[in-house]
Structure 1
Amino acid sequence: MQSAKINRRGVLGLFGSSGAAALPGCTTIPEANAAVRFAHGVASGDPAPDGALLWTRASVEEAGAGDVPLRWFVVSGAAGSPTASGTALARTAADHTVKVEVDGLEPGREYRYYFTGPDGTRSPEGRFRTLPVGATDNVVLAVASCQLYPGGYFNAYAHMAQSERLDAVLMLGDYIYEYGADGYGADIGQRLNRLPDPLHETVTLEDYRRRHAQVKSDPDMQAAHARAAFICVWDDHEVTNDGWIGGAENHQPESEGDWEQRKAAAMQAYFEWMPIRDPKPGRAASEIYRSFEFGDLLTLAMLETRLLVRDKQLEFAGDPSDANAYARLLTALSDEKRELIGSRQRDWLRETLRTSTEAGKPWQIVANQVVMAKVSGPQLRRQMGEARYAQMLAQLPSGYEGRLRDAQLAYEAGVPFNLDAWDGYPGARKRLYEAFGASASKPIVLAGDSHAGWANNLFDDAGELVALELGCTAITSPSYGSLLPGIGRYIEAANEEVAYCNQDKKGYTLLTLTPAEAKADFITVDTVLDRKFDAEVDASFVALAGDEFANWRRAGEA
Structure 2
Amino acid sequence: MDEPRDLTLHRRSVLATGAAGVGLSTLSPAAHAAERPRGSGRTFQHGVASGDPLPRSVVLWTRVTPTAAAAPGSGRGPSVVVEWEVATDRRFRRIVRRGRVRTGPHRDHTVKVDADGLRPDTWYHYRFRLGRRVSPVGRTRTAPPAASTPDRVRLGVVSCANLQAGWFSAYRALAGREDLDAVVHLGDYLYEYGPGEYGYGHDDVDIRPHQPPHETLVLADYRQRHAQYKQDPDLQALHARYPWIVTWDDHEVTNDQWSGGAENHQPGEGDYAARRAQAHRAYDEWMPVRMEGTARLGDGDRLFRRIRFGRLAELSMLDLRTYRSQQVAGALPLPGLDPAVSDPARTITGEEQMAWLKESLADDRAQWKVIGNPVMIAPVDFGAVPRQLIDPVNDVTGLLPADGVAYNVDQWDGYTADRREVLTHIRDRGVSGALFITGDIHSAWAAELPYDAATYPLGDSAGVEFVCSSVTSNNLKDVLGAPPRTASLAVEAAIVANNRHVRFLDFDNHGFCVLDLTPQRAQMDWYVIGDRADRATPVTWSRSLQTRAGSSRITEANGPVQ
Q: In which range does the TM-score fall when normalised by the shorter chain? A: 0.7 to 0.9
Do the aligned residues in 2 keep the contact of 1:330 with 1:415 (CA within 8 Å)?
no
Do the aligned residues in 2 keep the contact of 1:516 with 1:545 (CA within 8 Å)?
yes
Cα distance in 1 for residues equivalent to 2:30 and 2:196:
35
Moved runs in structure 1, 4+ residues, more than 4 A?
186-193, 280-284, 399-404, 406-412
| Pair 1:428 & 2:418 matched | yes
**What is the match of residue 384 of structure 2?**
379
Deviations 1:481-529 (CA, angstroms, capped at 9, x unpaired): 3224333343223311211111111111100011111111011111211
**What is the match of residue 146 of structure 1?**
160
With over 3 angstroms needed to count, the CA separation of the structure-2 counterparts of 1:191 and 1:334, relative to structure 1, is closer
**What is the match of residue 218 of structure 2?**
204
Q: Secondary structure at the match of 1:98?
A: strand
**What is the match of residue 333 of structure 2?**
325
Cα distance in 1 for residues equivalent to 2:82 and 2:336:
59
User: Of 425, 441, 458, which residue of structure 1 is paired with 2:449?
Assistant: 458
User: Of 45, 50, 64, which residue of structure 1 is paired with 2:56?
Assistant: 50
Cα distance in 2 for residues equivalent to 1:220 and 1:175:
14
**What is the match of residue 5 of structure 1?**
25
Residues 98-137 of structure 1 aligned to structure 2 (within 5 Å): 98-118=111-131, 120-133=132-145, 134-137=148-151
With over 3 angstroms needed to count, the CA separation of the structure-2 counterparts of 1:407 and 1:426, relative to structure 1, is closer
Cα distance in 2 for residues equivalent to 1:60 and 1:46:
27
Residues 243-392 of structure 1 aligned to structure 2 (within 5 Å): 243-253=257-267, 255-280=268-293, 285-307=300-322, 309-317=323-331, 325-326=333-334, 329-354=337-362, 357-358=363-364, 361-377=366-382, 379-381=384-386
Higher mean C-alpha deviation, range 179-188 or range 138-147: 179-188
Cα distance in 2 for residues equivalent to 1:495 and 1:217:
42
| Letter aligned with residue 556 of structure 2 | R
| Letter aligned with residue 196 of structure 1 | H
Cα distance in 2 for residues equivalent to 1:224 and 1:216:
11
Cα distance in 2 for residues equivalent to 1:467 and 1:402:
27
Extract unaligned runs of 5+ from structure 1.
Answer: 21-34, 318-323, 382-388, 394-398
**What is the match of residue 550 of structure 1?**
552
Do the aligned residues in 1 keep the contact of 2:385 with 2:495 (CA within 8 Å)?
no
**What is the match of residue 321 of structure 1?**
none
Cα distance in 2 for residues equivalent to 1:458 and 1:400:
26
Deviations 1:59-88 (CA, angstroms, capped at 9, x unpaired): 133434211211111111454321211112
| Letter aligned with residue 350 of structure 1 | K
| Letter aligned with residue 446 of structure 1 | I
With over 3 angstroms needed to count, the CA separation of the structure-2 counterparts of 1:376 and 1:69, relative to structure 1, is same
Larger Rg: 1
CA-CA distance at 1:453 after TM superposition = 1.0
Residues 164-243 of structure 1 aligned to structure 2 (within 5 Å): 164-185=178-199, 193-243=207-257
With over 3 angstroms needed to count, the CA separation of the structure-2 counterparts of 1:151 and 1:228, relative to structure 1, is same
Cα distance in 1 for residues equivalent to 2:274 and 2:393:
38
With over 3 angstroms needed to count, the CA separation of the structure-2 counterparts of 1:431 and 1:11, relative to structure 1, is farther
CA-CA distance at 1:187 after TM superposition = 6.7
With over 3 angstroms needed to count, the CA separation of the structure-2 counterparts of 1:10 and 1:481, relative to structure 1, is same
CA-CA distance at 1:330 after TM superposition = 2.4
| Letter aligned with residue 426 of structure 1 | T
Extract unaligned runs of 5+ from structure 2.
Answer: 1-19, 70-75, 481-486
Do the aligned residues in 2 keep the contact of 1:481 with 1:488 (CA within 8 Å)?
no
With over 3 angstroms needed to count, the CA separation of the structure-2 counterparts of 1:352 and 1:438, relative to structure 1, is farther
| Pair 1:476 & 2:472 matched | yes
CA-CA distance at 1:325 after TM superposition = 1.9
With over 3 angstroms needed to count, the CA separation of the structure-2 counterparts of 1:116 and 1:131, relative to structure 1, is same
TM-score (norm 1): 0.86
Percent of matched pairs sharing the same residue? 36
Cα distance in 2 for residues equivalent to 1:9 and 1:257:
39
Do the aligned residues in 2 keep the contact of 1:11 with 1:158 (CA within 8 Å)?
no
Deviations 1:239-288 (CA, angstroms, capped at 9, x unpaired): 100000010001112x1111110011100000000111132489983421
| Letter aligned with residue 517 of structure 2 | L
Cα distance in 2 for residues equivalent to 1:231 and 1:50:
16
Q: Which has the higher helix share?
A: 1
User: Of 67, 72, 76, which residue of structure 1 is paired with 2:84?
Assistant: 72
Cα distance in 1 for residues equivalent to 2:252 and 2:283:
8
CA-CA distance at 1:292 after TM superposition = 1.2
| Pair 1:81 & 2:107 matched | no
**What is the match of residue 34 of structure 2?**
14
Q: Secondary structure at the match of 1:48?
A: coil
| Letter aligned with residue 303 of structure 2 | I
| Letter aligned with residue 444 of structure 1 | L
Q: Number of paired residues?
A: 513
| Pair 1:485 & 2:485 matched | no
Do the aligned residues in 2 keep the contact of 1:170 with 1:232 (CA within 8 Å)?
yes
**What is the match of residue 537 of structure 1?**
541
Cα distance in 2 for residues equivalent to 1:440 and 1:157:
38
Do the aligned residues in 2 keep the contact of 1:379 with 1:411 (CA within 8 Å)?
no
Do the aligned residues in 2 keep the contact of 1:521 with 1:538 (CA within 8 Å)?
yes
Deviations 1:82-135 (CA, angstroms, capped at 9, x unpaired): 1211112222201000101101111111111111112x1111111111001212
Cα distance in 1 for residues equivalent to 2:328 and 2:55:
42
CA-CA distance at 1:5 after TM superposition = 2.8
Cα distance in 2 for residues equivalent to 1:188 and 1:259:
30
Q: Secondary structure at the match of 2:291?
A: coil
The CA RMSD over aligned residues, in Å, is 2.8
Q: Secondary structure at the match of 1:160?
A: helix
Deviations 1:14-61 (CA, angstroms, capped at 9, x unpaired): 3321589xxxxxxxxxxxxxx961000000011110120000000133
| Letter aligned with residue 556 of structure 1 | N
CA-CA distance at 1:189 after TM superposition = 9.8
CA-CA distance at 1:13 after TM superposition = 4.0
